[in-house]
Amino acid sequence: MLTLRQELLLNLIVSDYISDAAPIASESLTRMHNLGVSSATIRNEVAILEEQGYITRPHASAGSIPADKAYRLYVESVLADDTNELPSPARDVIRHQLVNVEHDIDAWGNVATALLAQLVGYMGIATFPKMKESRVRHIELVQVQDFVTMLIVVLEQARLRKHLVRLEDPVESVQLETISQRIRAELIGLNRREIESKPMQLSPVEKDLVEATVLILKDEDLASQSERYVDGLPNLLIQPEFDDQDMMRTIVQGVEDGSLIDAVLSEAPEGSVVEVVIGHEHVGDVLRPLSVVICQYGIPGEISGAVGAVGPTRMEYTKTISGVKFISGVMSGLVKGAYTS
C-alpha cells in the first residue's frame, strides 16, 4: 500500500514521463514540482517505489521509468475522475463531423477513426455496427436470365447482400414481382431462427428463395467481425518507443495481416464502459509493447460496434480515455437514430 506522498510522486513520474519520454530524475521532481520535501526524501521514496515494482531504472543513478503497474494505478485514478472530459471545442468538432455523415453509415467508421487518431496522436480503430442477430429489412428479386434471378436482401443494419438463385423453370417478371411480395410478407423483420421455425406454404421457387435468404443471414451472423477501419498508423510508428526496426516491422505486419486488429477488438468490453489494457496485461504477445483504450457503442443487446485507440504504454491516458468515451457516445447516438427511427 502506497502512502499519499508515494502515490503523488508516482503520478508525477508517470505524467512527466508521458510528456517527456525520458527517465525522470529525482532532482527534476524537486525542481519542477513544489513538493515541500528535500531531494533526499524524494530519492528514498523513489527507491521504495522501485522495490515495489512501480518504476524501473536502468542503473542506480538513472532516472525513473514507470512500469505497467504504475500506469495501471494512474489509469484507475483517471477512470475514477468523472470530471475528465474533452474541451468543448474538440467535442463540437467531433460531433459536427460525425453528424455530417449520419446518413452515410458506411462513412461512420472512417470518420470516427480519423477523428480519434488526430485527437490523441495514436492509431484509431473502429468497427461497423453489427446486429446481435441479423434481420430482414427488405427483399427484392431482379430477373437476370430466364432461369436465374438475383435475390437482394437488405438487413436491419443497413447492409445489402446479393445472391444468384438458379430456377428450375423460367419465371416471368410479373410472376417474380408476385413472389417478391409474398416473400416480403413472410420474412421482413425476422431473423434466421424465426424464419426456419415459421410454418409457410411455399412453392418450390419460393422455398429456394427463402433458403437462400436464410443462408445470407447465417453467413452474416457467423462473421467473426464486421468491417474494421484503421487510421493513424504513422502516428504510432513515430513514437520514440518504436524506433527499433524489428518492433516497427512487427507492428506494421500485425496491422496489415489483421492479427493486431483482431487482438485489439478481442479486448472490447460489453456495454458502454471504457476498457484500458496496458502492456503485459494483454493476453497475447502482439500487443505487449502497447496500450489499448477501447469501448463499445450502439444499442446494448441489439447492435454494437467498437471504437478504440492504440498507443505506447506511455500514452496520454486522460485525453485518450476522454476521446474514446466521447466518440463512442456520439456513435451510439447515430446508431439509435438510424435503427430506432
Residue 219 reports pLDDT greater than 80: yes
For 259, the grid coordinates are: 492479427
* Best CA proximity match to 128, nearest among 101, 154, 149, 107: 107
Q: Which residue has the higher pLDDT, 281 or 244?
A: 281
Residue 272 reports pLDDT greater than 70: yes
Residue 339 reports pLDDT greater than 80: no
Sign of CA dihedral 246, 251, 257, 263: positive
Contact call for residues 305 and 296 (beta carbons, < 8 A): yes
Predicted pLDDT of residue 224: 53
Residue-wise pLDDT tens digits, 48-103: 999 999 999 877 778 999 999 999 999 999 998 888 889 999 999 999 999 999 98
| Partners of 277 in beta bridges | 292
What is the pLDDT of the chain when averaged over all its residues?
90
Predicted pLDDT of residue 213: 94
Average pLDDT of the residues in 217-241: 86
Q: What's the pLDDT band for 225 if we cut at 50, 70, 90?
A: low
